[in-house]
A and B are shown apart, each in its own frame.
Chain A
């Protein structure tokens, strides 16, 4: 025991040591409960931390303001949980969940976000909580809820040592305020962006599902939605029938790489992609047939139809060897052997019916 401690501090420290196993149990139970609830509500977190106050930290606290505490459980952050979300909206959602699963001591809980309007307005939401039932229900614990940017603010503030400063020169106060305002605005903008993006995705989804392809601009989101309609399945099945082949699923990332190819074709919307499928499927089938019929290859990638569609489109557009190689470069990465592949395709294509209709 530290001989410099006051009798009151020493008494509280003894109580803390005696209660430590209970505190550790509470930390585990409360954090499990909260984590499960957050997971069920699908709230994405930047961080979830839980700790029992260390002896060293507690001594420090008691030395500064030990007189405020009569008993060990007057100290409400012996067990602390910190939930760091990505978005400000989610801080409120976490708070609602905490209210549902724990009893909140409203008298001691603080929404520091609202308290500091004239300075930063940029702090966490703190709840002092109790378990609703069980043997640990009389021990308080603290939940801090904040966004990732608030967390960064808090960490930098701690590092700079501002928090304890009694009086700062006005120019520093102004600098802090400007930064806090900027972060707060960034937090709000990220939340707004998420809402707008979600609305956009819903709109795209509905337009794609209703078949209004020409109203949907070509983008990562819209093309992903379009792929969910399996637009290349008919062509793939026709090609697979040549050798009764199995179709091996292609990773979504590969299919998305074709967006680069579509950009080079200057496609603007999903209507352009749909038209491209309709106008080139027969040629793509002929091209695949000319390659596969002389083999016994009975396993094909799901991307085979799309690949042949792009090759046929380029040939029809007069893209020649360079255009075909550009498709292979975009999808397979630039490789010297892509030239040989392109030469072979161009040679095969010369014999095919679609070439004679041009």
Chain B
């Protein structure tokens, strides 16, 4: 009987198929025993978290002790405006003011920080807001002269404060005001945060409990907020800060916030701190 194929070709083909089969089986066994059948994907949250507030609805339990440093929110503060120079003639009134470390020249009727320039005297200017009149006196320099300065900032000044945070936390007596430009600065320069404050995640098992302050630079905006070393930041603006992701999400949104409230734990006491952002 005549063979259709040469016996060597058939043998070669068998060897080829056996090699393929053996390798496939080995890979299959490896897949079953050692390799996972599906990947790990990070679940992405769609849209922002809804703002929520804590509420104790149980009538039998006493509410958690909370110390509130509440402030009446104000849209802008007159204290942010410094009067640098006045030009007061019968037909025109022009003043130079400093606001957020920038000088601005205002004519009668111009608005700054929500305050409208109404007029000026020999050493003061008057502004109005919500039908109220505010008086700002001219800044006097240490040598006793009024601080009349050019309206454009000095060419040497900006370079020295190029990397310095603009804005600050101002203590307005009964409440504290956080300058929005400070938040904008930190939003663009994350490393400046770590120069002023050190935070460390606190976990109980796998559950995050907040961020403990490991150090805080004296005189920094964070110290001016009233935060102290050892405080545990539990939530910011109603959002629990229970993971690095939650903290980072809050950081990414920091320049868009209109108010700031922190829930912190100091020792065994829980405190809520509220600030005006302006």
Task: Say if A and B assemble together.
Answer: no
Residues of B within 8 A of A (CB): none
Residues of A within 8 A of B (CB): none
